[in-house]
Homo-oligomer: A and B are copies of this chain.
Amino acid sequence: MTRRVTIADIAAAAGVSKGAVSYALNGRPGVSETTRAKILAIAAEMGFVPNRAARSLSVSSAQAVGIALRRSARTIGIEPYFMELISGIEATLSAGSYGLTLQIVGTVEEELEVYRRWWAERRVDGVLLCDIGTSDRRLDFIADLGLPAVAVGGPVEGARFPAVWHDDVEPCRAILEYLYTLGHRRVARVAGIPGLLHTAIRDQAYADMAAELDFASVTTVHSDYTGEQGAQITRRLLSSSKRPTAIVYDNDVMAVAGLGVAHELGLEIPEQLSVVAWDDSPLCRLTHPALTSLTRDIPAYGSNCAEVLLTLIGANRESGPPSAESRTFSVQCRPAQLSPRGSTGPVQS
Protein backbone atom coordinates (compact mmCIF):
# COMPACT_ATOMS: atom_id res chain seq x y z
CA MET A 1 0.00 0.00 0.00
CA THR A 2 2.82 2.42 -0.88
CA ARG A 3 1.99 5.87 -2.10
CA ARG A 4 1.33 6.06 -5.82
CA VAL A 5 4.24 7.14 -7.98
CA THR A 6 4.04 10.56 -9.62
CA ILE A 7 6.15 12.21 -12.26
CA ALA A 8 7.93 14.04 -9.46
CA ASP A 9 9.15 10.69 -8.12
CA ILE A 10 10.40 9.71 -11.54
CA ALA A 11 12.06 13.08 -11.98
CA ALA A 12 13.88 12.65 -8.68
CA ALA A 13 14.97 9.13 -9.54
CA ALA A 14 16.21 10.16 -12.99
CA GLY A 15 17.82 13.36 -11.74
CA VAL A 16 15.83 15.57 -14.10
CA SER A 17 12.89 17.97 -13.77
CA LYS A 18 9.16 17.19 -13.85
CA GLY A 19 8.93 18.89 -17.21
CA ALA A 20 11.52 16.65 -18.78
CA VAL A 21 9.68 13.60 -17.51
CA SER A 22 6.42 14.85 -18.97
CA TYR A 23 8.04 15.47 -22.35
CA ALA A 24 9.66 12.06 -22.33
CA LEU A 25 6.51 10.18 -21.39
CA ASN A 26 4.36 11.94 -23.95
CA GLY A 27 6.79 11.41 -26.80
CA ARG A 28 7.21 15.10 -27.45
CA PRO A 29 10.46 16.85 -28.40
CA GLY A 30 12.43 18.52 -25.66
CA VAL A 31 14.58 15.68 -24.38
CA SER A 32 17.40 13.69 -25.95
CA GLU A 33 16.75 10.11 -26.93
CA THR A 34 19.18 8.93 -24.27
CA THR A 35 17.36 10.77 -21.51
CA ARG A 36 13.99 9.72 -22.86
CA ALA A 37 14.97 6.07 -22.79
CA LYS A 38 16.28 6.39 -19.26
CA ILE A 39 13.11 8.11 -18.05
CA LEU A 40 10.87 5.57 -19.74
CA ALA A 41 12.84 2.74 -18.17
CA ILE A 42 12.55 4.26 -14.70
CA ALA A 43 8.85 4.97 -15.18
CA ALA A 44 8.21 1.38 -16.24
CA GLU A 45 10.25 0.03 -13.37
CA MET A 46 8.39 2.13 -10.83
CA GLY A 47 5.08 1.14 -12.38
CA PHE A 48 4.04 4.67 -13.20
CA VAL A 49 0.48 5.30 -14.37
CA PRO A 50 -0.58 8.92 -14.75
CA ASN A 51 -3.30 10.21 -12.48
CA ARG A 52 -6.36 10.70 -14.63
CA ALA A 53 -7.71 13.68 -12.72
CA ALA A 54 -4.47 15.61 -12.92
CA ARG A 55 -4.14 15.06 -16.62
CA SER A 56 -7.79 15.90 -17.21
CA LEU A 57 -7.39 19.10 -15.27
CA SER A 58 -4.43 20.15 -17.38
CA VAL A 59 -5.60 19.24 -20.83
CA SER A 60 -9.30 19.61 -20.02
CA SER A 61 -10.39 16.32 -21.48
CA ALA A 62 -12.07 13.57 -19.51
CA GLN A 63 -10.93 10.67 -21.70
CA ALA A 64 -14.40 9.25 -21.30
CA VAL A 65 -17.69 9.30 -23.15
CA GLY A 66 -21.14 8.93 -21.70
CA ILE A 67 -24.28 7.09 -22.57
CA ALA A 68 -27.63 7.60 -20.86
CA LEU A 69 -30.31 4.96 -21.32
CA ARG A 70 -33.94 5.82 -20.71
CA ARG A 71 -35.54 2.53 -19.68
CA SER A 72 -36.98 1.04 -16.54
CA ALA A 73 -34.88 -1.29 -14.42
CA ARG A 74 -37.20 -4.20 -15.14
CA THR A 75 -37.43 -3.98 -18.90
CA ILE A 76 -33.92 -2.92 -19.80
CA GLY A 77 -32.48 -6.39 -19.46
CA ILE A 78 -34.81 -8.20 -21.77
CA GLU A 79 -33.75 -6.30 -24.89
CA PRO A 80 -30.41 -7.80 -25.97
CA TYR A 81 -29.90 -4.80 -28.26
CA PHE A 82 -28.50 -2.44 -25.64
CA MET A 83 -25.95 -4.74 -24.15
CA GLU A 84 -24.69 -5.73 -27.59
CA LEU A 85 -24.51 -2.09 -28.61
CA ILE A 86 -22.65 -1.15 -25.46
CA SER A 87 -20.30 -4.02 -25.95
CA GLY A 88 -19.39 -2.77 -29.41
CA ILE A 89 -19.04 0.81 -28.24
CA GLU A 90 -16.83 -0.30 -25.41
CA ALA A 91 -14.51 -2.26 -27.67
CA THR A 92 -13.69 0.83 -29.72
CA LEU A 93 -13.46 3.12 -26.74
CA SER A 94 -11.07 1.00 -24.75
CA ALA A 95 -8.93 0.51 -27.85
CA GLY A 96 -8.54 4.30 -27.81
CA SER A 97 -8.12 4.18 -24.02
CA TYR A 98 -11.36 6.06 -23.48
CA GLY A 99 -13.68 5.10 -20.66
CA LEU A 100 -17.42 4.59 -20.83
CA THR A 101 -19.69 6.19 -18.27
CA LEU A 102 -23.16 4.76 -18.08
CA GLN A 103 -26.29 6.18 -16.53
CA ILE A 104 -29.83 4.92 -16.54
CA VAL A 105 -32.56 7.55 -16.39
CA GLY A 106 -36.32 7.55 -16.12
CA THR A 107 -37.45 10.62 -18.04
CA VAL A 108 -36.23 12.94 -20.79
CA GLU A 109 -35.89 15.71 -18.24
CA GLU A 110 -33.57 13.56 -16.17
CA GLU A 111 -31.65 12.65 -19.28
CA LEU A 112 -31.14 16.28 -20.26
CA GLU A 113 -30.06 17.06 -16.72
CA VAL A 114 -27.50 14.26 -16.87
CA TYR A 115 -26.04 15.66 -20.07
CA ARG A 116 -25.91 19.13 -18.63
CA ARG A 117 -24.12 17.92 -15.51
CA TRP A 118 -21.71 15.62 -17.30
CA TRP A 119 -20.63 18.42 -19.59
CA ALA A 120 -20.43 21.07 -16.89
CA GLU A 121 -18.38 18.73 -14.72
CA ARG A 122 -16.29 17.72 -17.73
CA ARG A 123 -16.92 14.15 -16.73
CA VAL A 124 -17.27 13.18 -20.40
CA ASP A 125 -15.89 14.48 -23.68
CA GLY A 126 -18.97 13.47 -25.63
CA VAL A 127 -22.11 11.36 -25.57
CA LEU A 128 -23.98 8.84 -27.65
CA LEU A 129 -27.72 9.39 -28.09
CA CYS A 130 -29.92 6.31 -28.32
CA ASP A 131 -33.57 5.93 -29.27
CA ILE A 132 -33.71 8.95 -31.55
CA GLY A 133 -37.26 10.28 -31.83
CA THR A 134 -39.04 11.86 -34.77
CA SER A 135 -38.91 15.21 -33.02
CA ASP A 136 -36.31 14.88 -30.36
CA ARG A 137 -35.84 17.56 -27.72
CA ARG A 138 -32.40 16.26 -26.94
CA LEU A 139 -30.90 17.17 -30.32
CA ASP A 140 -31.17 20.94 -29.96
CA PHE A 141 -30.47 20.82 -26.26
CA ILE A 142 -27.18 19.06 -26.76
CA ALA A 143 -26.16 21.13 -29.74
CA ASP A 144 -26.87 24.31 -27.75
CA LEU A 145 -24.84 22.94 -24.88
CA GLY A 146 -21.90 22.48 -27.25
CA LEU A 147 -21.52 18.90 -26.05
CA PRO A 148 -20.06 16.67 -28.78
CA ALA A 149 -22.54 13.93 -29.59
CA VAL A 150 -23.39 11.26 -32.10
CA ALA A 151 -26.91 10.08 -32.80
CA VAL A 152 -27.21 6.31 -32.74
CA GLY A 153 -29.91 6.18 -35.38
CA GLY A 154 -31.10 8.35 -38.22
CA PRO A 155 -31.07 9.89 -40.71
CA VAL A 156 -31.66 13.03 -38.67
CA GLU A 157 -33.05 16.01 -40.56
CA GLY A 158 -31.01 19.20 -40.22
CA ALA A 159 -28.81 17.61 -37.60
CA ARG A 160 -26.23 19.71 -35.86
CA PHE A 161 -24.10 16.65 -35.17
CA PRO A 162 -23.33 13.34 -36.86
CA ALA A 163 -25.66 10.37 -37.03
CA VAL A 164 -24.84 6.73 -37.61
CA TRP A 165 -27.66 4.62 -38.96
CA HIS A 166 -28.90 1.68 -40.96
CA ASP A 167 -31.20 1.95 -43.92
CA ASP A 168 -34.53 0.54 -42.77
CA VAL A 169 -36.43 0.97 -46.01
CA GLU A 170 -34.66 -1.75 -47.93
CA PRO A 171 -35.19 -4.43 -45.26
CA CYS A 172 -38.88 -3.53 -45.08
CA ARG A 173 -39.13 -4.10 -48.82
CA ALA A 174 -37.25 -7.35 -48.46
CA ILE A 175 -39.64 -8.67 -45.83
CA LEU A 176 -42.78 -7.79 -47.74
CA GLU A 177 -41.44 -9.12 -51.03
CA TYR A 178 -40.44 -12.32 -49.29
CA LEU A 179 -43.85 -12.75 -47.69
CA TYR A 180 -45.59 -11.84 -50.94
CA THR A 181 -43.61 -14.48 -52.78
CA LEU A 182 -44.67 -17.03 -50.19
CA GLY A 183 -48.26 -16.15 -51.04
CA HIS A 184 -49.13 -14.00 -48.05
CA ARG A 185 -51.67 -11.28 -48.77
CA ARG A 186 -52.84 -10.39 -45.25
CA VAL A 187 -49.84 -9.17 -43.27
CA ALA A 188 -49.82 -7.52 -39.86
CA ARG A 189 -46.98 -5.68 -38.24
CA VAL A 190 -46.51 -5.19 -34.52
CA ALA A 191 -44.45 -2.01 -34.57
CA GLY A 192 -42.41 -0.32 -31.90
CA ILE A 193 -42.98 2.95 -30.07
CA PRO A 194 -44.59 5.46 -32.46
CA GLY A 195 -42.42 8.41 -31.43
CA LEU A 196 -39.19 6.75 -32.43
CA LEU A 197 -37.58 7.74 -35.69
CA HIS A 198 -36.98 4.25 -37.02
CA THR A 199 -40.55 3.27 -36.25
CA ALA A 200 -41.77 6.17 -38.36
CA ILE A 201 -39.39 5.28 -41.18
CA ARG A 202 -40.58 1.67 -41.19
CA ASP A 203 -44.22 2.80 -41.03
CA GLN A 204 -43.69 4.80 -44.20
CA ALA A 205 -41.72 2.05 -45.93
CA TYR A 206 -44.44 -0.52 -45.25
CA ALA A 207 -47.17 1.81 -46.44
CA ASP A 208 -45.28 2.54 -49.67
CA MET A 209 -44.57 -1.11 -50.32
CA ALA A 210 -48.11 -2.19 -49.52
CA ALA A 211 -49.38 0.21 -52.14
CA GLU A 212 -46.88 -1.12 -54.67
CA LEU A 213 -47.83 -4.79 -54.40
CA ASP A 214 -51.45 -5.95 -54.25
CA PHE A 215 -51.70 -7.06 -50.64
CA ALA A 216 -55.21 -7.49 -49.29
CA SER A 217 -54.07 -5.68 -46.17
CA VAL A 218 -50.90 -4.56 -44.45
CA THR A 219 -51.86 -3.33 -41.01
CA THR A 220 -49.60 -1.82 -38.40
CA VAL A 221 -50.24 -1.80 -34.65
CA HIS A 222 -47.92 0.17 -32.41
CA SER A 223 -46.61 -1.17 -29.11
CA ASP A 224 -44.14 -0.37 -26.36
CA TYR A 225 -41.73 -3.14 -27.39
CA THR A 226 -42.50 -5.28 -24.33
CA GLY A 227 -43.33 -8.94 -24.55
CA GLU A 228 -46.60 -8.33 -22.69
CA GLN A 229 -47.89 -5.93 -25.32
CA GLY A 230 -46.53 -8.10 -28.09
CA ALA A 231 -48.53 -11.03 -26.73
CA GLN A 232 -51.65 -8.98 -26.18
CA ILE A 233 -51.65 -7.48 -29.66
CA THR A 234 -50.94 -10.86 -31.21
CA ARG A 235 -53.90 -12.37 -29.38
CA ARG A 236 -56.13 -9.61 -30.70
CA LEU A 237 -54.81 -9.95 -34.26
CA LEU A 238 -55.21 -13.72 -34.32
CA SER A 239 -58.73 -13.73 -32.95
CA SER A 240 -60.06 -11.19 -35.45
CA SER A 241 -62.38 -12.50 -38.14
CA LYS A 242 -59.95 -12.00 -40.98
CA ARG A 243 -56.71 -12.89 -39.28
CA PRO A 244 -53.35 -12.23 -40.94
CA THR A 245 -51.35 -15.14 -42.35
CA ALA A 246 -48.10 -13.47 -41.37
CA ILE A 247 -47.02 -11.17 -38.57
CA VAL A 248 -43.88 -9.06 -38.56
CA TYR A 249 -42.52 -7.86 -35.21
CA ASP A 250 -40.31 -4.82 -34.76
CA ASN A 251 -38.13 -6.62 -32.22
CA ASP A 252 -37.27 -10.14 -31.23
CA VAL A 253 -38.82 -10.11 -27.77
CA MET A 254 -42.29 -9.42 -29.13
CA ALA A 255 -41.79 -12.05 -31.80
CA VAL A 256 -41.02 -14.67 -29.16
CA ALA A 257 -44.10 -13.59 -27.24
CA GLY A 258 -46.16 -13.78 -30.41
CA LEU A 259 -44.90 -17.28 -31.06
CA GLY A 260 -46.01 -18.22 -27.56
CA VAL A 261 -49.51 -16.90 -28.20
CA ALA A 262 -49.74 -18.78 -31.48
CA HIS A 263 -48.82 -22.00 -29.67
CA GLU A 264 -51.36 -21.20 -27.01
CA LEU A 265 -54.06 -20.80 -29.65
CA GLY A 266 -53.05 -24.10 -31.20
CA LEU A 267 -51.82 -22.59 -34.46
CA GLU A 268 -49.20 -24.52 -36.41
CA ILE A 269 -46.14 -22.50 -37.35
CA PRO A 270 -45.40 -21.86 -40.16
CA GLU A 271 -48.34 -23.74 -41.71
CA GLN A 272 -51.04 -21.48 -40.29
CA LEU A 273 -48.99 -18.41 -39.40
CA SER A 274 -45.64 -17.01 -40.49
CA VAL A 275 -43.62 -14.95 -38.02
CA VAL A 276 -40.77 -12.53 -38.75
CA ALA A 277 -38.63 -10.79 -36.13
CA TRP A 278 -36.52 -7.68 -36.41
CA ASP A 279 -33.08 -7.82 -34.78
CA ASP A 280 -31.56 -11.21 -34.82
CA SER A 281 -30.41 -11.83 -31.27
CA PRO A 282 -29.50 -15.38 -30.22
CA LEU A 283 -33.05 -15.45 -28.85
CA CYS A 284 -34.37 -16.03 -32.37
CA ARG A 285 -32.54 -19.32 -32.64
CA LEU A 286 -33.76 -20.66 -29.32
CA THR A 287 -37.43 -20.99 -30.15
CA HIS A 288 -39.09 -23.76 -32.04
CA PRO A 289 -39.42 -23.20 -34.88
CA ALA A 290 -36.48 -20.78 -35.07
CA LEU A 291 -37.50 -17.25 -36.00
CA THR A 292 -36.96 -15.82 -39.44
CA SER A 293 -35.38 -12.48 -38.68
CA LEU A 294 -33.50 -9.45 -39.88
CA THR A 295 -29.86 -9.79 -39.00
CA ARG A 296 -27.77 -6.77 -38.12
CA ASP A 297 -24.35 -6.71 -36.55
CA ILE A 298 -25.17 -4.64 -33.47
CA PRO A 299 -21.74 -4.74 -31.82
CA ALA A 300 -20.19 -3.52 -35.09
CA TYR A 301 -22.82 -0.80 -35.21
CA GLY A 302 -21.85 0.30 -31.70
CA SER A 303 -18.20 0.34 -32.72
CA ASN A 304 -19.00 2.56 -35.68
CA CYS A 305 -20.86 5.00 -33.48
CA ALA A 306 -18.01 5.17 -31.00
CA GLU A 307 -15.51 5.66 -33.80
CA VAL A 308 -17.42 8.62 -35.19
CA LEU A 309 -17.70 10.14 -31.73
CA LEU A 310 -13.96 9.79 -31.13
CA THR A 311 -13.27 11.46 -34.47
CA LEU A 312 -15.59 14.28 -33.55
CA ILE A 313 -13.93 14.75 -30.20
CA GLY A 314 -10.50 14.66 -31.82
CA ALA A 315 -11.62 17.22 -34.37
CA ASN A 316 -12.87 19.40 -31.55
CA ARG A 317 -9.57 19.44 -29.79
CA GLU A 318 -7.46 20.76 -32.62
CA SER A 319 -8.21 23.87 -34.66
CA GLY A 320 -11.05 25.25 -32.59
CA PRO A 321 -14.64 24.44 -33.43
CA PRO A 322 -15.06 21.63 -35.96
CA SER A 323 -16.32 22.50 -39.40
CA ALA A 324 -20.04 22.36 -40.07
CA GLU A 325 -19.29 19.55 -42.48
CA SER A 326 -17.60 17.33 -39.94
CA ARG A 327 -20.28 18.07 -37.39
CA THR A 328 -23.20 16.92 -39.46
CA PHE A 329 -21.90 14.04 -41.51
CA SER A 330 -23.99 10.97 -41.56
CA VAL A 331 -22.65 7.44 -41.63
CA GLN A 332 -24.79 4.73 -43.11
CA CYS A 333 -24.15 1.14 -42.09
CA ARG A 334 -24.89 -2.06 -43.94
CA PRO A 335 -28.66 -2.64 -43.83
CA ALA A 336 -30.14 -5.64 -42.05
CA GLN A 337 -30.24 -8.90 -44.01
CA LEU A 338 -33.19 -11.25 -43.99
CA SER A 339 -32.35 -14.65 -42.47
CA PRO A 340 -35.16 -17.07 -43.33
CA ARG A 341 -35.72 -19.80 -40.74
CA GLY A 342 -38.47 -22.15 -39.74
CA SER A 343 -41.03 -19.61 -38.61
CA THR A 344 -41.98 -18.58 -42.16
CA GLY A 345 -43.44 -20.66 -44.94
CA PRO A 346 -45.87 -20.61 -47.85
CA VAL A 347 -49.53 -19.91 -47.21
CA GLN A 348 -51.71 -23.04 -47.05
CA SER A 349 -54.88 -22.71 -49.08
Are A117 and B77 in contact, CB atoms less than 8 angstroms apart?
Answer: no
Are B87 and A104 in contact, CB atoms less than 8 angstroms apart?
Answer: yes
Whole-angstrom distance from the CB of A268 to the nearest CB of chain B?
11
**Contact bitstring A86-97, B, C-beta under 8 A = 1, else 0:** 111011001000
Question: Oligomeric state, in number of copies?
Answer: 2
Are B77 and A78 in contact, CB atoms less than 8 angstroms apart?
Answer: no
**A:284-319 near B, CB below 8 Å:** 285-290, 298-299
Are B227 and A285 in contact, CB atoms less than 8 angstroms apart?
Answer: yes
> Beyond A120-B4, A260-B288, A283-B78, is A73–B87 a contact (Cβ under 8 Å)?
yes
Are A52 and B227 in contact, CB atoms less than 8 angstroms apart?
Answer: no
Beyond A77-B82, A263-B288, 8 additional contacts (C-beta under 8 Å) are A49-B121, A52-B123, A71-B87, A74-B84, A76-B84, A78-B282, A101-B101, A228-B282
A87 contact set on B, CB distance < 8 A? 71, 73, 76-77, 104
**Interface residues on chain A, number (Cβ under 8 Å):** 70
Whole-angstrom distance from the CB of A175 to the nearest CB of chain B?
22
A80 contact set on B, CB distance < 8 A? 77-78
Are A146 and B77 in contact, CB atoms less than 8 angstroms apart?
Answer: no
- Which of A12-20, A56-64, A192-200, A326-334 is the contact stretch? A56-64
Point out the residue from B51, B90, B227 that lies within 8 Å of A103, measured CB to CB: B90
Q: Report if A50 contacts B (CB, 8 A).
A: yes
> Beyond A62-B53, A260-B288, A263-B288, is A282–B75 a contact (Cβ under 8 Å)?
yes
Nearest residue (CB) in B for A114 is B94
Report the Cα distance A321→B253, complex, angstroms: 48
Q: Report if A30 contacts B (CB, 8 A).
A: no
A51 contact set on B, CB distance < 8 A? 57, 121-122
Q: Report if A180 contacts B (CB, 8 A).
A: no
Are B99 and A100 in contact, CB atoms less than 8 angstroms apart?
Answer: no
Q: Report if A322 contacts B (CB, 8 A).
A: no
Whole-angstrom distance from the CB of A308 to the nearest CB of chain B?
18
Are A226 and B282 in contact, CB atoms less than 8 angstroms apart?
Answer: yes
Q: Report if A157 contacts B (CB, 8 A).
A: no
Are B90 and A104 in contact, CB atoms less than 8 angstroms apart?
Answer: yes
A-B contact pairs, 6 of them (CB 8 A): A50-B121, A87-B104, A230-B286, A253-B283, A260-B290, A263-B288
A123 contact set on B, CB distance < 8 A? 52, 99
- CB-based closest 6 A-B pairs: A77-B80, A49-B120, A53-B56, A260-B288, A77-B83, A77-B84
